[in-house]
Structure 1
Amino acid sequence: MSAKLDRIGEERDKALRRRDEWDARYKELDKRYREQENTEIHDLVHAFNLTPEQLGQLLRQTAQSLPSPEAVNQVVKEDATDED
């Protein structure tokens, strides 16, 4: 093959290796993030001395008081329109 094609092929292979390394790094960071998030949630539940039933009740009450996703999207769209 030509030298140019060989060089492009080498660069492509190098990019593929880098992508694989970044994918592995991303997966590891995502795992660590979820573990830390779970630890913090666990610590909060224990700090407030909540039973699983109390936590469930608290989450249900919170979900009922939150605006719907549609309402949030509408506000975001309005804000974006106002900024233009």
Structure 2
Amino acid sequence: MVQVATALLFAVAAGLGLTVILAMLKNNETAILSALMGEGAFPAGAAPQPGPASTVVTLHRSPERRDAPRPVRAAVRTQPQFSRAA
């Protein structure tokens, strides 16, 4: 009885897995097939091109953050973690 239930559960799981794979193929067929053929998921013309950026964004801190007080760390003495029984 347990073996029959296990076999049925395995069959349901395999069917569900196959259904998920087929649904993924249906939704992303072109991307998956082009990736399998070695072309990648996107055409070469639409891919980002390497090189310097066309515009440079400089980052700076606001004066409020720069003048914020820093927390002072307390000196902590470390002690070895030996048991008292040893």
TM-score, normalised by the number of residues in structure 2: 0.36
Counting helix residues as a fraction of each chain, which structure ranks higher?
A: 1
